[in-house]
Structure 1
Amino acid sequence: MRRTFSAIIIATFALLFISCDGDYRSLAEGNTREVVVVMDSTKWESETAEAIRDVFGQWVLTLPNGEPYYDLRFMTIRSQNHLDRIKKQKNLIFAAPIDEESNTGRQIRGFLDESVEQRVNEGESFAFPVEDQWYRDQYVLILTSTSDSLLAQKIRNTENSLLSDMLEKELKRWEYFVYERMEQTQYSDSLWENHGFKVRIQHDYVKNIDTLNFQSYRRFLPQNDRWMWIWWKNNVPDISFLDSDWINATRDSLSAQFIKGARDSMYVNTEYRRPVETKSFQKGRLIAYETLGTWQMINGAMGGPFVNFTYYDPDTNRLFMVEYSQFAPEVRKKLPFVRQFRAMGRTLESDSTWTSESNEPAL
């Protein structure tokens, strides 16, 4: 998806970015889920502004209650000192037509050299994402085109690419945040040594169930109960059956067996009356599916969000599932925890040299 962005290097962004090891600049400010949109105040109701709201502020419905994809805060450049303060923000979008006579328009032209401006005017490029430009852990997106209506159209037409690029940066932040203190390396090391795969496990998850091919872990807090489980299957040479229906049926079967409530008649099941979304992606050599939605407790008044990952390793013919869930009725905003789950589930690795015949029985 990211290839839809221009590969042109913006001349004024030619500063060599240094890795975190040795980059002593201050960290960018602000919440990782807030995006500051820099536009002239007279354009906050323009087609471009509405397109930005519709794309970056769209509602996420795979939650008990919808939440915006990102919290947007519109700002205008009032002075150079004000711009310097704006530049400290963690997530920034600068948006204006290339010829707009405003502080934002002039700033955008200042970002681009003549060759890039020409490509913008010819309609070949319009979006320029840059990381760690002025501060560490920063994401800046420059959006520009030849007119307000054309820029709005381009933003809408490349919605998936724009969102996935910003989300990738956010998930890197969450991965660092989740594991920066400590993690349960004894669990992931055991999975790797005994079963030929691993996933990073947060520092205060405690193992609950450990069977032949299923393990569960729980991080219990009275106001924010979270748990995860892992399932795997060997000797799967063909995955033509693998689709969203199979994923959800398998998830529900495993949850009914292992994820129980206070009584045996209570078990977790997908809440199909709300949106359930499955999308595929590639993780190295692994074929991956990510499923987002909400769960409900059968025979009990409970529910919450879940994130499921289904991975297939074509080198070893193995299937893996990793699922994360939350029950926190008093926690109003659940999307940050869902984003944490999405980062955690992407840490799965599979040993390409693993053979079930020599290491563990076929399942």
Structure 2
Amino acid sequence: MKEIGKLASILLLAVIWVGCDSDYRRKASGSFGQLIVVMDSADFESKTAEALRQTFGGWTQTIPGKPPRFDLTFRDFDSNNELEQLKQFRNVIVASPIDDSTNVAEFMRALLSDEVERQVRDGEAFAFPLKDQWYRDQWLLLLAAPSDSALATQIKNSQKTLVDNLIDKELNRWTAEIYERGEQVALEDSLWQNHGWKIRVQHDWIKSIDTTYTENNERVHFLTMRRPLPNNDRWFWAWWKEVDNINHVDDDWINTKRDSLNKKWFEGSSTRRNSFVTTAYKRPHKTETFRMNGDLVYESRGVWRMTEDAMAGPFVNFTVYDKETSRLFMLEFAQFAPKYDKRKFVRQFRAMLRTFKSDSTWQANSQKSMAIN
């Protein structure tokens, strides 16, 4: 294993050198959602392995079928050739107690500095994410602690941070993948010019509704797009209006507003005119907040259902407040595709929604136009 340690050191130097200029290395391999866990085979049923299964492999409650967050594969290695194969994957976790005598532990120590090893032994740190370590577009996470039980506890206590770090990487990958085949720049520019906001649009989405109407004596706007494919129907809608504040916005308001818009605009087929899309409240749904381009965003994920019908599918909803223009936006992607793995489409929706931008000068431009007229 000394050769493996030397090889790791050489590769680390190579990564540093390549990082100073353009990275011409081959991209990491593997599919979206795949996660390789490198551990000693004797530890595949350890507390650490179980903690990884519960965190990275835990069930996604907000998607029909409750798929795992990631597809975990546990692997060990006995030679440099086997190690080189493992290094090629796009998502890799290397996990081991820091002072074990296994190949994996020795490899881990070769990747960590003496100071970092000390921090691990003293319980000061346990997780070390590395970017593009051996190949381009690679996510690597080193996990180490003084013992198996200590490492398992650390993983469980940091579940959200660890999982979100990998999901963010996957969303960035999906953004690149989604628009690789083409993008409707003209449609995006039209949204920006006519409505003061835009979202990146894939090459084969079709805009349908684009309207302004009065609701409760307020002027509101609504727009829809669709990507109809055999056995995989996907749609997007956007609603927005000017508001004085967002004190009323919370999880209950978002769900109620979503339901009212879906009932108004998304009815059942011609044979089920009284049916409409609504939230499947018997299934788990959740709302989280974060900031994007300086704006406050509520991200809601869950399952929709068609009343008086068996149809259902996943949705991802953004409620965004642009303080600069005093506009409140609600944007939603949804899908009906019984024969497909819905996990990857939900992450596509989450990636596409993150391309949303609002023109912070829109209100000023409107006032200027009104003054001229």
TM-score (structure 1 length as normaliser): 0.92
Distance 1:56 1:321, change over 3 A: same
Contact kept? 1:285, 1:314, Cα under 8 Å:
no
Contact kept? 1:223, 1:328, Cα under 8 Å:
yes
Spell out the pairing of 1:1-363 with structure 2 (5 A cutoff).
13=12, 15-16=15-16, 22-212=22-212, 213-234=221-242, 236-263=243-270, 264-331=273-340, 333-355=341-363, 357-358=366-367
1:142 alignment partner, SS class? strand
Q: Distance in 2 between matches of 1:334 and 1:153?
A: 31
Contact kept? 2:293, 2:357, Cα under 8 Å:
no
Distance 1:18 1:309, change over 3 A: farther
Residue 5 of structure 1 corresponds to which residue in structure 2?
none
Q: Distance in 2 between matches of 1:40 and 1:132?
A: 23
CA-CA distance at 1:32 after TM superposition: 1.9
CA-CA distance at 1:123 after TM superposition: 1.3
Aligned partner of 1:70: which letter? F
Unaligned runs of 5+ in 1: 1-9
Contact kept? 1:268, 1:297, Cα under 8 Å:
yes
Q: Distance in 2 between matches of 1:181 and 1:337?
A: 16
**Runs (4+) off by over 6 Å:** none
1:312 alignment partner, SS class? strand
CA-CA distance at 1:23 after TM superposition: 2.0
CA offsets, 1:251-285, max 9 Å, x none?
A: 11111111122134221111111011111111131
Aligned partner of 2:207: which letter? K
Report the aligned-residue RMSD: 2.0
Distance 1:260 1:204, change over 3 A: same
Aligned partner of 2:107: which letter? Q
Distance 1:359 1:305, change over 3 A: farther
CA offsets, 1:317-338, max 9 Å, x none?
A: 111111001111122x110111
CA-CA distance at 1:197 after TM superposition: 1.1
CA-CA distance at 1:11 after TM superposition: 11
CA offsets, 1:227-255, max 9 Å, x none?
A: 11111111x23211111111111111111
Unaligned runs of 5+ in 2: 1-8, 213-220
CA offsets, 1:138-190, max 9 Å, x none?
A: 10000001111111111000111001110010000101111111112222111
Structure with larger Rg: 2
Q: Distance in 1 between matches of 2:328 and 2:301?
A: 19
Q: Distance in 1 between matches of 2:112 and 2:369?
A: 58
Q: Distance in 2 between matches of 1:167 and 1:54?
A: 15
TM-score (structure 2 length as normaliser): 0.90
| Total equivalences in the alignment | 350
Residue 3 of structure 1 corresponds to which residue in structure 2?
none
